[in-house]
A and B are shown apart, each in its own frame.
Chain A
Amino acid sequence: MNTLSAVFRRAAPFGLLAALAAGAASAADGEKIFTQGGSNPAATACASCHGPQAHGLGAAGFPALAGTSSVYLAKQLHDFRSGSRANAVMQPIAAALSEAEIAAVAATLAAMPGPTVKPTSRADAVAGPGAELALRGAWDRNIPECVACHGPGGEGVGTTFPPLAGQSPEYLAAQLNAWRAGTRNNDPHALMGHIARSMTEDEVKAVSAYFASLGQWGAPQ
């Protein structure tokens, strides 16, 4: 795990070049922020809530972060800061992180192993409203198939479309409800908000349960 800081640790003794390469990150050690917190004490250790492997803590609504794109994670931290994503717990923590710390911790998290995602195809048969939304959409309300943006099984795509598999149903539903309530307004090009707002409460529950069921976290190492 954590190949990035492992590389830095190994590379550092090899002289100037390696030290220069690690320069930006050496000001902020991602792994240290994750396990012990940032230089500002208000930036509490991420692991205390997001779990020692960043697998999240489902029932409490703490999301998994391991293996998610560093660009996406850093964007969320900036969005908490700006308030376009409102959350009483994360906003003060994000505000207490420096730019360098955000970059470092996001890189550390992205390099941690993500969940195993059950392979799905858009051709799969659907049972229930969760799978129906995920694989068929609800186009009468302009809701495309979720997998058309979040990828097969909701594994996530590139730097913009986060994984849904591997998250808890509680967290996924909380996010959909945050868009519905207007407390999360950070989706690029307003691609996601209208979708959440067009869903029924039952659909929010069902589709959250569906994607949560597709991710498996390996045994802790």
Chain B
Amino acid sequence: MSRKSSLFVLGLSLALPALAAGVAMDDQSQLTPKPTAAPAGFQPPRESELPDNAFGKLVREGHAIFVDTQTYAAEYVGNGLNCTNCHLEQGRKADSAPLWAAYPMYPAYRKKNDKVNSYTERMQGCFQFSMNGKAPPTDSKVLSALTAYSYWLSTGAPIGKELPGRAYPTIPQPKGGYDIAKGKLVYAQNCAICHGENGEGQKAGAHYVFPPLWGKDSFNWGAGMHRINTAAAFIKQNMPLGKGGTLSDDDAWHVAAYMNSHERPQDPRLVDGSIDKTRERYHANDGVNLYGVKVNGVLLGQGTD
């Protein structure tokens, strides 16, 4: 099925680039993104349609946690991010891993932890890795509110049927492989104005407005976004903010590689304190990534502490 074919395409393009040589393409995201959603794709309900009852209240709480995680689920967050930083338009935007396309697809097997994951467990993953925090307990208010929000957004969506617009649509790797030096230029020209010259993000008051792309306040080495292929797909569709789709596929890959060639918080699954062992167990077969790889003579994967 389509998972196989997308791996096949990635695998083919991967045979060429020098930099990525030897990286096996067994992408652990388990997702099979379809190309951009048609304009008349799935429409989640409008906020004004939310019922004014206990359910509506829980949905609103979930929305609040999703867009302002720093305030409403602070105890489970270990970096400067909010869920909506990577799932744009409050988790509604097609091709930005929208919640309405995710919710009806669980429970699902995930190779990342080699078991069938409930929707709750999937969200716990984003807390541990993307948010560099800790998983809220399964019966916590935070997870039930986020679940209610996702359930409501997917009102009318078919169960177990993958909708167009899910995840971040895969884009082909550049013919000559990705190029970190080119990515640095793309970054300076298109991204630094918001995310800062050194990917440090920009704050207003205590919280980030422009989220950090690397360093101690960003997602950790275990997050899906650390894969260059996943980041390239996200960036292509969603960045620069409000101008998604304007970068070429190649530039999206180059800049994703540049972003992910910087240090970030350690993978919390670190095996025996060894970057090598952790690479072998968790990163060798996880898409295209630079964990445990030397770039310009520096070993990546050391973490930020």
A residues sitting closer than 8 Å to B (CB atoms) are 121-123, 125-126, 136-137, 139, 142-144, 147-149, 151-152, 155-158, 160-161, 188-191, 194-195
Q: How far is the CB of B84 from chain A (nearest CB, A)?
A: 7
Knowing A122-B67, A123-B67, A123-B71, the reply to whether A139 touches B241 (Cβ < 8 A) is no
Say yes or no: A149 contacts B68, CB within 8 Å.
no
Asked if A191 and B71 make an inter-chain contact with CB atoms under 8 angstroms apart, the answer reads: no
| Cβ contacts under 8 Å, A142 to chain B | 242-244
In B230-262, the 8 Å CB interface with A consists of 240-244
Q: Which residues of chain B have C-beta atoms less than 8 A from A189's C-beta?
A: 190, 193, 240, 243
Q: Which residue of chain B is the closest to A126 with respect to CB atoms?
A: B47
In the bound assembly, the distance between CA atoms of A147 and B82 in angstroms comes to 14
Q: Which of A121, A147, A158 contacts B71 (CB 8 A)?
A: A121
What are 12 A-B residue pairs whose CB atoms fall within 8 Å in the complex? A121-B64, A121-B68, A123-B67, A136-B47, A139-B88, A139-B93, A147-B209, A148-B209, A152-B209, A157-B203, A157-B209, A189-B240
B190 touches A139 (CB 8 A): no
Q: Enumerate chain B interface residues (CB-CB to A < 8 A).
A: 47, 60, 63-65, 67-68, 71-72, 82, 84, 88-90, 92-93, 190, 193-194, 202-205, 207, 209-210, 240-244
- Among A126, A158, A188, A190, max chain B CB count under 10 A is at A158
Q: Is the CB of A191 within 8 A of B243?
A: yes
Q: Which residues of B contact A161 (CB under 8 A)?
A: 209
A148 to B240: give the CA distance in the assembly, Å: 12
Tell whether A158 pairs with B202 under 8 Å between CB atoms, given A139-B89, A139-B93, A149-B209: yes
The docked-state distance in angstroms from the alpha carbon of A194 to that of B245 is 14
Inter-chain contacts of A156 with B (CB < 8 A): 204
Residues from chain B with Cβ under 8 Å of A121 in the complex: 64, 67-68, 71
Quote the shortest CB–CB distance from B61 to chain A (angstroms).
9
A158 (CB) vs chain B CBs: closest residue = B202
Bound CA span A125–B90, Å? 13
B202's nearest neighbour on chain A, judged by CB, is A158
- Quote the shortest CB–CB distance from B96 to chain A (angstroms): 9
| Chain A residue, CB-CB nearest to B191 | A189
A189 to B202, CA, bound (A): 18
Closest to A198 in B: B242
> Do the beta carbons of A144 and B71 come within 8 Å of each other?
no
Q: In this complex, what residue of A is CB-closest to B90?
A: A136
Given A151-B209, A152-B205: A144 and B242 within 8 A (CB)?
A: yes
Among B71, B193, B204, B243, contact of A160 (Cβ-Cβ < 8 Å): B193
Inter-chain CA distance A189–B72, complex, in Å, is 33
Q: Which residue of the partner chain A has the closest CB to B205?
A: A152
Q: Name the distance in Å between B230's Cβ and chain A's nearest Cβ.
A: 21
